[in-house]
Structure 1
């Protein structure tokens, strides 16, 4: 008996940490006024394989199946296409519409560190805002979440339209744009020599390849430097990027956001801004999240390629975030109060005491297993339990409980109401 490759069970302290991370993300989704939605895991294969649905690479990884009616179906591989479907099916939605969804997605791809076949995505998207203020707000959201998780990150960003304009200045033909973008997107992984080797294999004109190598040899060029050097000031992509750069500078996001002229992200449906989130130290190579603008998907789904629904999204990489957090230190289990009846006849009193603790919002466990007292206390101490409530014959006769503080190595005979008050005062 074993799990399918690329899937895992999460239990104990690790699962507690996963839920904590998801809670931080969800609380901030709500704080930024995104509405929760839930979409089906099962979708029509035609929807998932639509022209703008993620590119050929992801479609190869889509789990495909058929039902008893021989309908061709697939498991969702992200949460963006299902969201686009929701907007397309509900033309009466008031715009702008902001939504978030946290759910499992599935990809039949290679398994490696931080990349699984069944994993959780945490997405926020907004449709109906044309300007880059939507991107800036999502960057603020990402910055807030990682700050609360105690993680120092860098948000690398670019504009794909600007990159297209840049490549055109270098002589790259429109037919080769996407292929060259995908190669440039890998520069951090394969280096300049790797990029040159890939470009040579594409059969590009030698002069064009030299121009591209000259570009990537520049020392961290800024948006302004590239705009001036290639005279792109009046181009659409440069204007969009300049407005976003101004918002980043004016809101203090410049502390975490870094312009990267070679970032394009692999998905072909992005039409403007793209961004990707990385560990600031650079020691952890996997992306911690990302997103971008995709103005063409929804119009395509409603059969109107000429109709643009401005949309932009952000996705947190739950598995990569967990990998990095677990790399730092193994989480401890959530603390709880242990209520321990000494003797079966005290079980009902223990349950009543636990009910009062839980009514006060205190996580409580009742141990009515009948184990020896010393063994139960040793087990509680090993799990970091601070408070144990003992109820034996003497305590029951006096209508009280014995509260043990395992940290202070003290105990007192008090009422359950006093015990609840004492424990509440010590909670963080």
Structure 2
């Protein structure tokens, strides 16, 4: 018996850490006034394979199936397209919308460090804001979220429209535009030599290849340096979008955390403007910790009305990558009970009643029904950091009392259930609400 390759079960310390990360992200999302959503995992295959949803770039990694009605379906590979579908199916929704969602997605791709086939994504999206303010706010949100996770980050960003305008100006034909973008996007991995090798396979003339290589050689250049090199870009829409966002980044004091990257384009074809990826600033983890961008066209295209205005920008946090980065750095506390109730003899009824009373007062309570030897149960409670044990014997039940053991102070007393509740509430460092 084994798990499907690329899928894992989580429990104990690892699950406690995953839970704490999700709670941290949710707190930040709601601090920025994003509302929760929950979209469908199962979707029509036609939707998931449409050119607006990534097209051929994603089909080979999609889990496809047929239901009993012979309908062609697929498991969602991200949270973006199901959310776009939600908006498209509800055109009366008032804009703008700021939403977040945390859920599993599925991709039948290669398995490696931080990349699974069943994994958790945590997304935020804004629909209805045309200008760069939405991108800037998402950058602020990401920096705040990773600050709370104690992860210093860099948010590399670019604009696909600007990159397209630049490549057009140096002679890249429109049919090769996306292909060249994707090659440039790999410059960190394959270097200039790898870039040249890939360009040589695209059927481009030598002058265009030389121009692309000259551009690729401008590694670590600022936006202003790139613009000064190429004429005729100043009044182009993509250039103006970059200028507007850069101005906001500078005014917010985020220039160090959010460097411009002229080669970044990201893989999916639906991005229409700003794109960004989040990386560990210490370079101890090579893969991205999050990514996103602007995809203004998807929703209108899904409903067959390309002229409808649904400006949208989103950001996805990679739970598995974040876990890979920090799970060996911290030792999370596994949530545990504050009280263990052990019925002795025929007292299960009374034990469950007292447990219900404790839980109704916000005290995390465990009941012991394994009928182990008392010594083993007490040793287990002590090893797991459970401070209080309530022993409910038949004599105590008849007297309306319980035997309260304080495992920290090593004391024991026979008291009423109300007295036990009072002592527990006032002696615990803090009530346990299901979290350590």
TM-score, normalized by length of structure 2?
Answer: 0.90
Q: Counterparts of 1:253 and 1:373 in 2: how far apart (Å)?
A: 59
Question: How far apart, CA to CA, are the structure 2 residues paired with 1:401 and 1:258?
Answer: 63
Question: CA distance change for structure 1 residues 207 and 124 in 2, over 3 Å: closer, same or farther?
Answer: same
**Per the alignment, do residues 224 and 208 of structure 1 end up closer, same or farther by CA in structure 2, a change over 3 Å counting?**
same
Work out whether residues 291 and 315 of structure 1, in 8 Å CA contact, stay in contact via their aligned partners in 2.
yes
SS, match of residue 158 in structure 2: strand
Alignment match, 2:426: 421
Match of 1:402 among 404, 409, 413: 404
1:254 paired with 2:259, answer no
Aligned to 1:271: 272
SS at match of 1:287: coil
In 1, Cα distance between equivalents of 2:114 and 2:303:
35
| Alignment of structure 1 residues 24-423 onto 2, 5 Å | 24-231=24-231, 232-329=233-330, 331-341=332-342, 343-345=344-346, 347-383=348-384, 385-391=385-391, 399=401, 401-406=403-408, 409-411=409-411, 413=413, 415-416=419-420, 417-423=422-428
Query: Residue 257 of structure 1: SS of its match in structure 2?
Result: coil
CA distance in 2, matches of 1:20, 1:360: 23
1:23: which partner in 2?
A: 23
Q: Matches of 2:396 and 2:426 in 1, distance apart? A: 18
| 264-273 vs 183-192, which moves further | 183-192
* Deviation of 1:390 (Å): 3.7
* TM-aligned CA distance change 1:158 to 1:335, over 3 Å: same
1:135–1:312 Cα contact (<8 Å) kept: yes
What secondary structure, in the 3-state scheme, does the structure 2 residue paired with 1:315 have?
A: strand
User: How far 1:255 moved relative to its partner?
Assistant: 4.1
Structure 2: distance between partners of 1:335 and 1:61? 39
The whole-number CA distance in structure 2 between the counterparts of 1:292 and 1:311 is 9
Structure 2 unmatched ranges of 5 or more: none
Structure 1 residues 398 and 235: alpha-carbon distance in aligned structure 2, compared to 1, 3 A threshold = same
Q: Deviations over 1:168-202 (max 9, x none)?
A: 23332222211111011111122222222212222
Alpha-carbon distance change, 382 to 253 in structure 1, aligned in 2, over 3 angstroms: farther
Task: Check the 8 A contact 2:17/2:327 in 1, yes or no.
Answer: no
Q: C-alpha distance in 2, partners of 1:390/1:70?
A: 57
Q: Cα distance 1:65–1:248, how it changes in 2: closer, same or farther (>3 A)? A: same
Residues 1:83 and 1:374: Cα distance change in structure 2 (over 3 Å) = same
User: What SS does structure 2 have at the residue aligned with 1:328?
Assistant: coil
Kept in 2: contact 1:79–1:105 (CA 8 A): yes
Alignment check: 8 A CA contact 1:160 1:271 kept: yes
Q: CA deviation at 1:343?
A: 2.4
Displacement after TM superposition at 1:395 (Å): 7.3
Distance 1:2 1:299 in 2: 43
Alignment of structure 1 residues 1-12 onto 2, 5 Å? 1-12=1-12
**Residue 297 of structure 1: CA displacement?**
0.8
Decide whether the 8 Å contact of 1:344 with 1:368 is kept in 2: no
Q: Give secondary structure in 2 for the equivalent of 1:344.
A: coil
| Superposed displacement of residue 270, structure 1 | 0.2
Distance 1:326 1:169, change over 3 A: same
- Cα distance, 1:271 vs. partner? 0.4
TM-superposed deviation, 1:228: 2.3
SS in 1 for 2:316: strand
For the 8 Å contact 2:388–2:407, the answer to whether it is kept is yes
What's the offset of the Cα at 1:13?
Answer: 2.2
Structure 1: unaligned runs, 5 residues or longer: none
Change (3 A) 1:155 1:401: farther
User: Offset of 1:249 from its aligned partner?
Assistant: 1.7
For 2:330 and 2:98, locate their aligned partners in 1 and report how far apart those are by CA, in whole Å: 35
Superposed displacement of residue 262, structure 1: 0.8
Describe the superposition over 1:279-304 as per-residue Cα deviations: whole angstroms up to 9, x where unpaired.
Answer: 11112122211110001111111112
- CA deviations on 1:344-386 (whole Å, 9 max, x unpaired) are 3554554444334322323221224333343233323433x15
**Inter-CA distance 374–126: structure 2 relative to 1 (3 Å threshold):** same
For 1:342 and 1:351, how far apart are their aligned partners in 2? 9
Return the TM-score normalized by structure 1: 0.91
CA contact (8 A) 1:357 1:420 kept: no
